[in-house]
Structure 1
Amino acid sequence: MSDRKILTDYVYKIVASLVQSGVQDVVISPGSRSTPLAYGFASTEALNVYRQVDERSAAFFALGIAKAKGQPVVLLCTSGTAAANYYPAIVEAKYARVPLIVITADRPHELREVGAPQAINQIRLYGEQVKWSAEFPIPDEAKQTLPFIERHIARGVNIAMTAPMGPVHLNVPFREPLLIDFQQTLPEATFQKSYIGMCLPSEEAVNSFTSIINETQKGFVIIGELSLGTDVHYLWSFIRKLKWPVLVESLSNMRSSIPEDCMPYIISTYDALLRGDTFKEKVITETVIRFGAQPVSKFLTIFLTNNIPKNYIVIDEDPMFRDSTTVATHSIQATVGEWLSDLPIECNITQEQYLNSWRTGEDIAVQHISEYVNHHSDEGAMVRQLLELLPEGSDLFVSSSMPIRDIDTFLTPTKKDIQIFANRGANGIDGVMSTALGFSMARKNRDMYLLIGDLAFLHDVNALIATRYQDCKITVIVMNNDGGGIFSYLSQSTVEEYYEDLFGTPTALQFKDVANMYDMEYIEIKNNKELSTLFDHQQVNPLRLIEIFTDRKENVLAHRTLWQQINSEIEA
């Protein structure tokens, strides 16, 4: 058998095995050593193939697709530092629990550690940031090679998709020549299918959970960012039966499209409310139940650590349950499911009175937030107005730092269908635009908006290269306060010396020329009135860059005024 035939069979066995395992999407960063697999993916009609020449951006682009679909996405690059540039997105995928199949092409063994070009040590390159790592054999005629590859692909996809989901790494070495014969049909699979088990609580866990609920007189639920694919209908059913206050983070996507009968239990303004001493004393709790990740709110974290509940129950599909506050008393390893609807829950009058305390605070805070845009023109007012203007059925991807905090503050319960997403696995500001672009490719039936700060935009401006290779549609909204706005709220701002050099870091950059470079419609906004007309006309250009200019000092003053007004009324 010729070397070319061996290589062709090897490549298409990898491709066929990925398709058999349910992979639909592949993101390729072009390079030489990955040529055989790039050809294999590009020539397979069953796959959606995307291109991005910047590997760091490509990895976040793939992350966005996987995050949107809740399905594994393949990421392919050549050898050397190309593979190293995937690292930030792999870290995010691990902590955000997103399934990625990272394939790095490699030099053959005889070219490693001998000074060959574009050859680095790629074995276990990503260390503990991936759930599993494997090195594939060099293509050869051994009869065990192709069956081994087929089953190793199944193992890799299984591991990526098993709760908690996450990235896996496959290192695939190739010798030259790197050309294959294109095939119209994929080879027949000898391994048919893997069935991933459900993660359900034990009978003992359910009984203990039910007993704690029924004995609780003051308790609330926290819902943070939920695992990919979570069916929130089970949570709504649980909330109806429980009738407790439910503190919902914006990333839970349970502040929008709220069922009418669940609306009385939804608390969205807890970050503002828990800044006031009187309110905190009123709502000290004995039991907390948390689904999903710990919310963004610093003041919720402080409240829980200063007033440790008797019972803090974490529902998590991972036995390594998340508990950054170190106050958890119980962990139930389970995914959200029908078991929540079947719990024999009883309600008591004391719990109803406790709910009223939260309800009163929520109503006061929502009223102040609703009136906020009438008195302010800072970033918070712009965000609140934007949330009111976004069309029904929109997706809003949000950068870390101030944008996600403003969304958490100013998104109050609504029946409108607006869904919020972010990279909160590692909370970085790198790769945000790339992730949003990838996310938008997987949800073309919804309009995509990205809310991002000027520094995060600069971090990932190469993301826009992807728009030259794929038909993308996105509105990028840059909050340009000329620097790192988040630090204005932190203790660093109290030390004037070196503050601007080390934390404010102004660049004096504006982004109209970036919009021109990528043929984007550009809109400059300096006040609320200009923002209010943003959606008066139908969007013609699928790519739009909206730059909103704000002042960091004004932002801080306006935010603190809002929090003070809310808590002053509650105190009174």
Structure 2
Amino acid sequence: MSAPAGTPGAAAPHDGVTALDPLLDGLDAQPPAVRSAFALVHRLLHEGVADVVLAPGSRSAPLAYALAAASDLGHLTLHVRVDERAAGFLALGLSRGAGPVVRGGVALPRPVAVVTTSGTAVANLHPAVLEAHHTGVPLVLLTADRPHELRGAGANQTTHQAGIFGAAVRFAADVPAPDGRPGEVRDLLAVATRALAEAVGARSGHPGPVHLDLAYREPLVPVAATGPGTPVAAVPDPLGVRSAVVLPAAAPPVPSDAERGDGAVALGAPVAPVAVPVPGGRTVVVAGDGAGRVARDLAEARGWPLLAEPSSGAAGGPNLVVAHALVLGVDELVDGAEHVVVLGRPTLSRPVQRLLGRPDVEVSVVAPGAGPWPDAARNASTVLTAVPARWLDPRPGTPEPSELAPGPTPGRTTDPRWLARWRAASAAAAEVVAVATDGSLADGPSVARAVVDACGPDDLLVVGSSNPVRDLALVLGLDADAPRVLANRGLAGIDGTVSTALGAAVATARPHRRTRALLGDLTFLHDAGGLLRGPHEPHVDLQLVVVNDDGGSIFAGLEPGGLGATSAAAGRTFERVFATPHGANLAQLCAGYGVDHQLVQDVPSLRHALAAPSHGVQVLEVRVSRAERREAGLRVGERVRDAVREAVVVGR
């Protein structure tokens, strides 16, 4: 990561190197912990870290003073949160919302640092760390710790922090407490450089969280107040300390023994960009979480149907199959599939996983970087690190369905009738879903449709797990292309969604761009603490649309919901241990946090509220019934399948 000026691929220092020097003026008079913390923050800035989330504590005081000084000088944006779990997810949202930065011609994700004190504060980061691990988000975890002589001795707020995140981090180091010895700043900065390179995946193409456990001995505070114009130190300038130059790689090298005769990489061998033949026959593109626009481009270039999840970044265009999870229930359509190309990480739909697990279907997985490739069905035959360029060459003269000839067209790799059938299935499904979500009833899918309709193409929509993301998947493609959608699909948990949305809203704040979140009541309540923001924190505009059905209706559509419908006793059990009604008053909760709240009575009122200007954080609560969730979903599913069969079987 760190590189001298003029080095190809080097990261430009934030605001210029000389602008950072006030952080280091007069440091030689400070305690070793303070000197070390200021040097570390200086290096973070030089490596391009522009946002840091701080949870207050005593042992982390040296870092807090250094961050406050950097913030006062305008070198970074400091976010303070009292809840470490919320702090971790805020950092995750800040990184994901900001989008990549291009270095050396390679797009790398933006690292965001999180600072905590010792003890349970560190453990509370674990949910966000796991999410970042599975979604490739570069969180830099800076956890303060007691020095080694206090560990295992019963010292207050001391536990085994080193290695606490296990395999969920790309890099971890137990950094000893500074004591003023020669060379300790050099050693610290070398570790920091290595950690930041691993965080952004500069060498591996596999970004993710990293952990520096930083031991500090007293004294933990500067000998004089710090701030602009007040000298605080004079350790040797860290920029004068030699550290490794880590240049980003566009792709890992190709091992000489990894290639098969056809140029593809055999499963089990190191993967690399290679030239492979374009799949022929009846192919489907599956775009999971994080797939990117390339999945849509591929489907349109080759004339393949597109099954795209909301957070794929590919959900749009003429080849998108509306309500694909329901459409896949028609065997007469799916049985013709011969090949599936998977991009991103599919997590939402059991029918998609069944398709990927079929022994008569060949599966190609596109999985950039050194991370594990998605293959939950254990059926992948080919793994690629990128979509080959030749696959993206448009086939000339692809006709509309009305112009399709009755047979295959010479020179095409796909029978055009294949795409025509999927388009017909999509149109039939869209007609059924459009009627079911016309707004005459206030239910989850109708609310999701109203939220999508209110979003412009440049807006950002953060969607919660459980029903909201599935409702969104049902209605995408009915009216317009989706906005940019973010979701915590790494582990598909409900925790931290409010904080993630707040971080994404801060990171994407632009004139005429709005950020909204669609989430359920349990997801909202689980992270209600994320609403707590001090008066000195950066301003954020965010609309949170909360679909309140007083419990966990996601289980109604799963096996527990079916069992719960068999008898009164089973229904009581389902209600208590799965549905978990809460009776919480969201208006009073929001009032306690000083957050604007509106109770919306119906879908037309919701559309009006979404169209109105909003300022700050606003909660729009829509109350819906949970009692009919299972039956309504079954009815829509059956109507979609009947309509699709009519369109692609009877009508062909």
TM-score, normalised by the number of residues in structure 2: 0.80
CA–CA separation in structure 1 for the residues paired with 2:471 and 2:248:
38
Name the residue aligned to 1:60.
89
Q: Please report how far the alpha carbon of residue 212 of structure 1 lies from its aligned counterpart in structure 2 after TM superposition.
A: 6.3
Is 2:463–2:518's contact at 8 Å kept on the other side of the alignment? yes
**Which of the numbers 543, 550, 564 marks the counterpart of 1:482?**
550
Runs (5+) with no aligned partner, structure 2? 1-26, 99-108, 266-273, 397-409, 565-569, 647-652
In the TM superposition, what are the counterparts of 1:430-445 in structure 2 within 5 Å? 430-445=495-510
SS at match of 1:531: helix
**Mapped pair 1:264 → 2:318:** yes
Name the residue aligned to 1:46.
75
**Which of the numbers 329, 332, 339 marks the counterpart of 1:275?**
329
CA–CA separation in structure 2 for the residues paired with 1:149 and 1:79:
19
1:480-530: CA deviations, max 9, x gaps?
111111000011123332111110111122200012122222211232232
CA–CA separation in structure 1 for the residues paired with 2:35 and 2:395:
57
Q: Single out whichever of 476-485 and 266-275 deviates more from structure 2.
A: 266-275
In the TM superposition, what are the counterparts of 1:36-115 in structure 2 within 5 Å? 36-44=62-70, 45-69=74-98, 70-115=109-154
Q: Please report how far the alpha carbon of residue 184 of structure 1 lies from its aligned counterpart in structure 2 after TM superposition.
A: 7.6
CA–CA separation in structure 2 for the residues paired with 1:415 and 1:288:
26
Name the residue aligned to 1:524.
599
**Which of the numbers 34, 52, 57 marks the counterpart of 1:8?**
34
CA–CA separation in structure 2 for the residues paired with 1:61 and 1:38:
18
Change (3 A) 1:166 1:245: same
SS at match of 2:582: coil
Change (3 A) 1:215 1:523: closer
Runs (5+) with no aligned partner, structure 1? 257-262
Is 1:243–1:347's contact at 8 Å kept on the other side of the alignment? no
Q: Please report how far the alpha carbon of residue 321 of structure 1 lies from its aligned counterpart in structure 2 after TM superposition.
A: 1.2
Name the residue aligned to 1:495.
563
Q: Single out whichever of 47-56 and 368-377 deviates more from structure 2.
A: 368-377
Is 2:86–2:499's contact at 8 Å kept on the other side of the alignment? yes
Name the residue aligned to 1:223.
287
Is 2:550–2:582's contact at 8 Å kept on the other side of the alignment? yes
**Mapped pair 1:565 → 2:629:** no
Is 1:455–1:484's contact at 8 Å kept on the other side of the alignment? yes
SS at match of 1:551: coil
Name the residue aligned to 2:523.
456
Name the residue aligned to 1:34.
60
SS at match of 2:642: helix
**Which of the numbers 190, 200, 207 marks the counterpart of 1:165?**
207
Q: Which has the larger radius of gyration?
A: 2
Q: Please report how far the alpha carbon of residue 544 of structure 1 lies from its aligned counterpart in structure 2 after TM superposition.
A: 1.0
CA–CA separation in structure 1 for the residues paired with 2:211 and 2:413:
54
**Mapped pair 1:317 → 2:369:** yes
SS at match of 1:423: coil
Is 2:186–2:238's contact at 8 Å kept on the other side of the alignment? no
1:396-434: CA deviations, max 9, x gaps?
111111111111111116655611111010111111111
Q: Please report how far the alpha carbon of residue 467 of structure 1 lies from its aligned counterpart in structure 2 after TM superposition.
A: 5.7
Is 2:278–2:391's contact at 8 Å kept on the other side of the alignment? no
Count of residues in correspondence between the two structures: 558
CA–CA separation in structure 1 for the residues paired with 2:119 and 2:371:
35
Q: Which amino acid aligns with 2:306?
A: V
In the TM superposition, what are the counterparts of 1:240-319 in structure 2 within 5 Å? 240-256=300-316, 263-281=317-335, 284-306=336-358, 308-318=360-370
From the two aligned structures, give the one with the greater helix fraction.
1
Q: Please report how far the alpha carbon of residue 207 of structure 1 lies from its aligned counterpart in structure 2 after TM superposition.
A: 3.8
CA–CA separation in structure 1 for the residues paired with 2:366 and 2:215:
43
Q: Please report how far the alpha carbon of residue 241 of structure 1 lies from its aligned counterpart in structure 2 after TM superposition.
A: 3.2
Q: Single out whichever of 552-561 and 192-201 deviates more from structure 2.
A: 192-201
RMSD: 2.7
Name the residue aligned to 1:396.
461
CA–CA separation in structure 1 for the residues paired with 2:160 and 2:374:
32
SS at match of 1:534: helix
1:275-310: CA deviations, max 9, x gaps?
2233333xx322111111124112111233245413
Change (3 A) 1:488 1:17: same
Q: Please report how far the alpha carbon of residue 238 of structure 1 lies from its aligned counterpart in structure 2 after TM superposition.
A: 3.7
CA–CA separation in structure 2 for the residues paired with 1:139 and 1:556:
60
Name the residue aligned to 1:328.
380
1:220-274: CA deviations, max 9, x gaps?
11111226xx6x3x55554443222222221112225xxxxxx332324211101
